[in-house]
Amino acid sequence: MHKSDIYTALFGKFILSMSLIVLLISSLMVTSTLSAAALEPDPLQPKMIALTNEARSIALKLQCPVCDGQSIVESQAAVSVQMKQKVQELVNQGKSEQEILDFFEERYGMMVLREPPYSGFGLGAWLIPPIVISSIVIWFSFMLRRKNQQYKDQQ
């Protein structure tokens, strides 16, 4: 090996190690910044509110539009907090549960409901799983009887 090859290899290792150090330091800085931001309260986000039992039971039937599978009671997203406040406001106005659910379905679509409705397209969500499971059980029992008959015929 020539001296220039050795210097080139050492220089390459030096550059690689410096790159890794810079990457490590920058990732630590980003992590600490995000941690600090997570600890600070968001001045724009409304405070948590206490829901009455009626408002809580209705809010449990509504899904957070920006969260995966959380009700608005479980979620702390800003939109969920606003939705909880609106539920409580509508309950205080004397609106019925169905009126409140219709109000949110109008604004956010059917996906805001945690349970699909028992009519229209939502009816398929209730009927298709039992039909499929029943069909599989019937098919499996038919195949089992057929194999059992073939076994008896062979003997």
Percent of the chain with pLDDT over 70: 67
d(CA 154, CA 147): 11
Out of 53-62, 121-130, 132-141, 145-154, which region has the weakest mean confidence (pLDDT)? Answer: 121-130
pLDDT at 5: 57
Q: In sequence order, which residues have a C-beta less than 8 Å from that of residue 59 and are 6 or more positions away? A: 51, 71, 72, 73, 83, 84, 87
User: What confidence tier does 100 reach under pLDDT thresholds 50, 70, 90?
Assistant: very high
Please provide the average confidence, as pLDDT, over all residues in the chain: 78
User: What confidence tier does 50 reach under pLDDT thresholds 50, 70, 90?
Assistant: confident
Average pLDDT over residues 78-92: 93
Q: Which of 54, 51, 74, 53 is nearest to 63 (CA)?
A: 74
Contact indicator for 44, 10 with CB cutoff of 8 Å: no
Asked if residue 17 has pLDDT above 90, the reply is: no
Asked if residue 41 has pLDDT above 50, the reply is: no
Give me the phi and psi of 28, to 5 degrees please: -65, -40
Per domain, the residue ranges of the chain are 1-40, 53-112, 124-155
Average pLDDT over residues 45-60: 79
104 or 14: which leads in pLDDT: 104
Asked if residue 112 has pLDDT above 60, the reply is: yes
Retrieve residue 125's tokens.
């969500």
Retrieve residue 59's tokens.
């809010």
Superfamily of structural domain 53-112: Cytochrome C biogenesis protein (1.10.8.640)
Give me the phi and psi of 71, to 5 degrees please: -75, 165
pLDDT at 40: 47
CA 34-16-32 angle, 5° bins: 10
User: What confidence tier does 119 reach under pLDDT thresholds 50, 70, 90?
Assistant: low
The DSSP H or E segment spanning 62 is: none
